[in-house]
Amino acid sequence: MSSLVSRLLVAVLLLPLVLGFVWLGGWWLFALIALAALISLHEYWLMARSLAPLAPAGYIGAILALLGAELSGVDWLVGGALLTFALAFLLKAISAARAAATAAVSGTVMGAFWIGAGLGFLLLLRDLPQHGRLALYTVLIAVWAGDTFAYFGGRLVGRHKMAPSTSPGKTWEGFLFGTAATIFVSFVALYKQHFVSIPASIVLGVVLAVAGPLGDLFESLLKRDAGVKDSGTLLGGHGGMLDRLDAFFFAAPAAYFTILAFTS
């Protein structure tokens, strides 16, 4: 099976499932995001094994961040993630591993914040007091559309490399295709929905169009350090769970605060 066919098949199977859980919201969505976070963290620990990350502390910190987001909002999301510092320190203090404490603790905390807190903002978007379901649908579909159009646009007309040493497959032409798709989806989804203004919907699209690729490039840096092409093979042509979610780790927080800025 070719990579392209595999990507399309996975997208067709997963998209309705994810959108269905978003519709249900609450603990249903929490369970799905928590599972995605645990798988993503497992892939991250494997890539960062040279740092000897303290995986139990990272798992607990990420789940506490998600619980904080679901139960009490952004303050408790941050509080839950911050507990990773203390947990990682305690584990390192009793660990017999000789890896440097700075690297081990830093790598662990980064995983909890990057993945756990990043995905926690998806829960915060869904739990917005008004139009939370619409907000999360918009972010998910806009980022997916941007990633898809960037992929195909880059393959069709891509000539100028965006970051050749970090992610050789990304081109400026693909980025422009993806940006246009992201802004278009954001505008169409929020047009006449009595949620945010038309200019605000366009601004949100621009924010997502920038934040998503930055999240993708950030993961590419980590994969380059680890010497791997994909974070895993779980999702076929999409690679691992991290490869599918990397854009949301940056896009979800950016979207949340952008929407708050226009609705508060």
* Mean per-residue pLDDT, 92-120: 90
Q: Is the pLDDT of residue 244 over 70?
A: yes
Q: Could you tell me the pTM of the whole model?
A: 0.93
Q: Is the pLDDT of residue 54 over 80?
A: yes
Range of weakest confidence among 85-89, 117-121, 148-152: 148-152
Confidence of residue 169 (pLDDT cuts 50, 70, 90): confident
Q: Is the pLDDT of residue 152 over 90?
A: no
* Mean per-residue pLDDT, 47-57: 92
Please give the backbone phi and psi of residue 64, each rounded to the nearest 5 degrees, phi first.
-65, -35
pLDDT the model gives residue 3: 59
Q: Give percent of the chain above pLDDT 70.
A: 95
pLDDT the model gives residue 138: 97
* Mean per-residue pLDDT, 108-127: 97
Domain ranges of the chain: 3-263
pLDDT the model gives residue 159: 87
Q: Is the pLDDT of residue 12 over 80?
A: no
Q: Is the pLDDT of residue 13 over 80?
A: no
